[in-house]
Amino acid sequence: MLHLVNKSPFDGCSLDTAAAIMKGGDELLLIEDGVYGAMKNGKGAALLDGLKVSVLGPDLAARGIPEDRLVDGVSVIDYAGFVDLVEANDKVQSWL
């Protein structure tokens, strides 16, 4: 199962709930303002511990976040990688 979060960790509880609901084998993809959740020293960092996390590179670049500011172990992917994640997981949960 692929979990999509598109909100900043300060805007609602989508990242909190997604992280709490995720099971072993699930994956998390941060898109749009959700990419702020993967920042080192940010509010989201603590939530990502032990999770398999990707962020959408184009959204990261738009917001001026260099990749070295991300929590260790986070993958940066493009829209094609997003499609691959959707294919690799049996379903998608958008935490709107």
Q: Where are the beta strands (DSSP E) in 1-96?
A: 2-5, 27-30, 52-56, 75-77, 92-94
How many residues contact another protein, by CB under 8 A?
Answer: 48
Residue from 56, 49, 89, 57 nearest 73 by CA = 49
In angstroms, what is the minimal distance from the CB of 74 to another protein? 14
Instruction: Point out which residues bind a second copy (CB under 8 A).
Output: 10-13
Instruction: Point out which residues bind another protein (CB under 8 A).
Output: 1, 4, 6-8, 10-11, 13, 17, 20-23, 31-33, 36, 39-43, 45, 57-59, 61-66, 69, 78-80, 82-84, 86-87, 90-96
